[in-house]
Amino acid sequence: MFEAARTILKQLFLKPATNKFPAKYAPASTIGFLDSVAKGELKMVPPVTVPPGFRGKIALNKAKCTGCRLCIEVCPTGAIEFIPEEKKVKIFVSRCCFCAQCVEICPPKVLSMTEEFLLASYDKYADELVVVDSGELPGAEKEPDAGAVEKPAEQS
Ligand code: SF4
Ligand code: SF4
């Protein structure tokens, strides 16, 4: 009895173990809350920061994809489909198990796992859950400027 009371008292002064997300207090309607966030009327409490190496929603730099299909070969869930007319791929996030095997094997390194993890949706084919082109990937090496001329070393 004494031990239980001591534990309860201790808990009262501990920092909460959970994150106040998406709002400080549970909204009456989550959809209404998200609509208000979209309109800029309310602000979402930021989600937790993810650890290094986190495997979130996949990103694809379409322009640099060579259409080699190696990612399709290794994907264990059939999440990647080939677009024959464009010779590019598209990825269905709803089927992805976040294994990152496609990222590892992609020769030009045009796939990447982002930190995005809020992926719940009523529609598994919603635009945000079908990755077609994410543009330049963060941290990707820039291509050398073709017009740049290397400066010769100064003679002493
Ligand atoms: S991360 Fe894994 S499951 Fe997801 S698309 Fe890549 S290979 Fe497929
Ligand atoms: S492995 Fe990379 S380059 Fe090859 S098809 Fe997949 S995304 Fe494109």
Nearest to 143 by CA among 63, 81, 71: 63
What's the confidence (pLDDT) of residue 135? 94
Mutate to test the pocket of ligand 2, among 60, 73, 106, 132 (most ligand atoms within 8 A of CB): 106
pLDDT, residue 19, reads 75
Confirm or reject: Cβ of 80 under 6 Å from ligand 1: yes
Question: What span, in angstroms and rounded, lies between the C-alpha atoms of 56 and 76?
Answer: 17
Of 72, 63, 142, 65, the C-alpha closest to 107 is 65
The position carrying tokens 């309607």 is 29
Q: Which atom of ligand 1 is nearest the CA belonging to 58?
A: 1
Map tokens 């290794």 to a residue. Answer: 74
Mutate to test the pocket of ligand 2, among 58, 61, 68 (most ligand atoms within 8 A of CB): 68
Instruction: Take residue 32 and report the two structure tokens written for it.
Output: 């209404």
Residue 97 main-chain phi, psi, to 5 deg: -105, 10
- Ligand 2 in contact with 103 (CB < 6 A)? no
**Pairing state between β 80-83 and 88-92:** antiparallel
pLDDT of amino acid 25: 80
Q: Domain boundaries in the chain?
A: 1-48, 49-137
Contact between 60 and 84 (Cβ < 8 Å):
no
The class level of CATH for 49-137 reads: alpha beta
pLDDT score for 141: 57
Q: What is the per-residue burial (b if ≥16 Cβ within 10 Å, else e) of 76-106?
A: eeebbeeeeeeebbbbbbeebeeeeebbeeb
Which numbered atom of ligand 2 lies nearest the CA of 108? 3
Q: What is the pTM of this model?
A: 0.73
Per-residue pLDDT tens for 98-147?
999 999 999 999 999 999 988 888 899 999 999 999 999 976 655 544 44
Cα 97 to its chain centre, rounded Å, is 13
Asked whether the beta carbons of 100 and 106 are under 8 A apart, the reply is no
102 Cβ closer than 6 Å to some ligand 1 atom: yes
